[in-house]
């Protein structure tokens, strides 16, 4: 088919070794229609792939944001855990001191 199109585009004369190019190629409407359909199909496929890539990129960005949020929440959790432990230790020390004070007070009263 392609060879026939090329032959239709040019005209040659063996007697004087010249080749004339036909500037108005004749392409059958059926071939033209099939080429246009093929181009439309390819355009649709490319658009579909581009849309899929955009969606995948958007999903990846959302996952990255979620991971950042989880990391921040983990840091907050660690901070709060450390502060809570420190507070509990201080309260335990105060409670021990208070018990010691109460015992001394009782001993003084009993004497």
Look up tokens 């190629």; give the residue.
25
pLDDT in tens, 65-83: 999 999 999 999 999 999 9
CB count in 10 Å sphere of residue 5: 13
Give how many domains the chain has, as a whole number. 1
* Torsion angle of C-alpha atoms 6, 12, 18, 23, degrees rounded to 10: -50
Structural domain range at position 43: 2-110
pLDDT in tens, 11-40: 555 556 555 555 555 657 777 888 889 999
- What is the Cα–Cα distance from 79 to 73, expressed in whole angstroms? 10
pLDDT of residue 4: 46
């Amino acid at each position: 088919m392609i060879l026939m199109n090329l032959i239709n585009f040019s005209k040659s004369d063996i007697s004087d070794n010249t080749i004339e190019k036909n500037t108005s190629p004749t392409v059958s409407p059926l071939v033209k229609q099939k080429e246009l359909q093929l181009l439309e199909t390819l355009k649709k496929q490319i658009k579909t792939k581009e849309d899929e890539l955009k969606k995948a990129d958007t999903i990846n960005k959302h996952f990255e944001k979620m991971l950042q949020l989880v990391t921040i929440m983990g840091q907050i959790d660690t901070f709060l855990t450390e502060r809570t432990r420190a507070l509990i230790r201080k309260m335990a020390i105060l409670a021990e001191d208070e018990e010691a004070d109460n015992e001394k007070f009782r001993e003084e009263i009993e004497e």
